Amino acid sequence: MEQDSKSSANKNDGDFIDFGFQSVPKTEKEARVKSVFSSVARNYDVMNDLMSLGVHRLWKDALMDWLAPQPHHSLMDLAGGTGDVALRFLKRGGGHVTIVDINEDMLAAGQARAVMKPYADKLEWVVGNAEKLPLADNSVDRATIAFGLRNVTNRDVALAEIYRVLKPGGRFCCLEFSKVENKLFSKIYDEWSFKILPQMGQIVAKDRDSYQYLVESIRQFPDQYRLADMMTDAGFEQVRFRNLSGGIAAIHSGWKL
């Protein structure tokens, strides 16, 4: 994957971690990420549509196809913010959903959405850290995280926590931006990402810096194969992934057996 030279420090110093193309103390990343998402919360859903030209909806539908919700399934949607994944899960016939997000502003934006009101009795909104989930061991049938794992400071710890709260026989699916495989397409995607998206953030959300970080964080995230290895290391079995839109995004699946 493309990587800024500054990020190399992360691999050599255990006290530092990537924050976009910056290398920052691990103790600072959580607060910085909170600040970013507090800033973008009000315009988050609108910007998702603009940035992906609406394709993120198809990606989330594909996530549900893999997850195959059933009425007896409980779901923990981690970094679930505005409730997009939870809403799809419930519309597909899934059971109770616990939405966990570290950012109260994102949860508030989700709770304010009119489309969530008919499902209020099946939803629980919880402020929580991915590295220390406020759920009991073996307590949910399914777990998801969509476009949130790259913002976690210690991703290995978060994966271990997801594994902990899943019931035996439970399934975890991660939808995240990944590595584009075609070189020509990758160049076009880079032009769109680095030149257009931060400008959109400035015009629509009046916040270029947050969207610059979000673009950079995608480039710093492990590729498809590395993430699959990380899930296996966390204990998941039958780990596999599916590329979406040529690798712009990917769904990873693993089971707790």
- pLDDT tens per residue, the chain (257 residues)? 333 333 333 344 579 988 999 999 999 999 999 898 888 888 877 777 777 888 999 999 999 999 999 999 999 999 998 999 999 999 999 999 999 999 999 999 999 999 999 999 999 999 999 999 999 999 999 999 999 999 999 999 999 999 999 999 999 999 999 999 888 888 888 888 888 888 888 887 788 988 898 889 989 999 999 999 999 999 999 999 999 999 999 999 999 99
Question: 112 vs 24, 52, 120, 150, 247, CA distance in Å?
Answer: 34, 23, 11, 26, 33
pLDDT computed for residue 256 by the predictor: 98
Q: Tell me, what amino acid is at 255?
A: W
pTM: 0.86
Domains and CATH numbers, the chain: 28-256 (3.40.50.150)
Enumerate the β-bridge partners of residue 125: 99
Q: Are the CB atoms for 165 and 133 separated by under 8 Å?
A: yes
pLDDT computed for residue 3 by the predictor: 33
pLDDT computed for residue 79 by the predictor: 95
CA dihedral 31, 6, 192, 48 (to 10 degrees): -20
pLDDT computed for residue 13 by the predictor: 56
pLDDT computed for residue 7 by the predictor: 36
The two structure tokens encoding residue 153: 């400071």
Q: What is the mean pLDDT of the chain?
A: 90
